[in-house]
């Protein structure tokens, strides 16, 4: 990744869900992990203290997630996708990819509710497939060159607005 800042489309519900996750991590999450680290520190020798090292690793994961969420929310475009049948961020696409039917969400994995029953694959708009199909409609055909140099054919069968 080049470090460029990209706008991410989110529904209001997804934005609110991620904002609540961020608030929880910055408050209760940080507080809880600090307590675990302090308790492990009190056990003595830190070199061989598995609880301490596990807590520090968890702290690193929490801080990384906080950074990801902060950037995501800072650059989020909140709204509802158009229901005009055109492939855009926030649409579920049914397509024949190299002759095999695939159903996937175009957009950010952050849109998907982890508790939702669907387990859609998610492709970003910046992926080779995403770039190739943006703006297409049902019935359109295209192809793109995969990272391995192979030409991939795609026929769009259906475009729907994602509803969690």
pLDDT score recorded for residue 161:
84
pTM check: above 0.75: no
CATH topology classification for 8-78: Helix Hairpins (1.10.287)
pLDDT score recorded for residue 114:
65
- Which tokens in the block code for residue 64? 């990384």
- The pLDDT profile of the chain, 164 residues, written as one tens digit per residue, is 344 446 777 878 888 989 999 999 999 999 999 999 988 888 777 777 788 888 999 999 999 999 999 988 998 888 776 677 889 888 899 999 999 999 999 988 787 766 555 678 889 888 899 999 999 999 999 999 988 999 999 999 999 988 76
Under a CB-based contact definition with an 8 Å cutoff, are residues 88 and 81 in contact?
yes
Under a CB-based contact definition with an 8 Å cutoff, are residues 138 and 158 in contact?
yes
pLDDT score recorded for residue 132:
94
pLDDT score recorded for residue 69:
92
Q: Domain segments of the chain: what residues?
A: 8-78, 91-161
Instruction: Specify the residue for token string 């391995």.
Output: 148
pLDDT score recorded for residue 78:
84
CATH topology classification for 91-161: Chitinase A; domain 3 (3.10.50)
90: left (phi over 0), alpha (psi -120 to 50) or beta: left
Please state the three-class secondary structure of the chain as a single string: CCCCCCCEEECHHHHHHHHHHHHHHHHHHHHHHHHHHHHHHCCCCCCCCHHHHHHHHHHHHHHHHHHHHHHHHHCEEECCCCCCCCCCCCEEEEEEECCEEEEEEECCHHHCCCCCCCCCEEECCCCHHHHHHCCCCCCCEEEEECCCCCEEEEEEEEEEECCC
């Amino acid at each position: 990744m080049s470090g460029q800042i990209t706008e991410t489309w989110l529904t209001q519900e997804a934005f609110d869900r991620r904002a609540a996750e961020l608030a929880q991590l910055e408050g209760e999450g940080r507080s809880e992990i600090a307590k675990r680290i302090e308790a492990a520190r009190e056990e003595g020798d830190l070199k061989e203290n598995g609880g301490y090292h596990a807590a520090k690793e968890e702290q690193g994961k929490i801080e990384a997630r906080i950074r990801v969420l902060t950037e995501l929310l800072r650059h989020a475009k909140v709204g509802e996708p158009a229901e005009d049948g055109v492939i855009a961020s926030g649409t579920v696409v049914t397509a024949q990819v190299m002759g095999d039917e695939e159903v996937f969400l175009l957009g950010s994995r952050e849109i998907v509710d982890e508790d939702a029953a669907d387990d859609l694959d998610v492709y970003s708009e910046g992926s080779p497939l995403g770039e190739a199909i943006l703006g297409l409609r049902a019935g359109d055909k295209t192809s793109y060159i995969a990272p391995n140099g192979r030409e991939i054919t795609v026929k769009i069968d259906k475009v729907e607005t994602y509803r969690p």
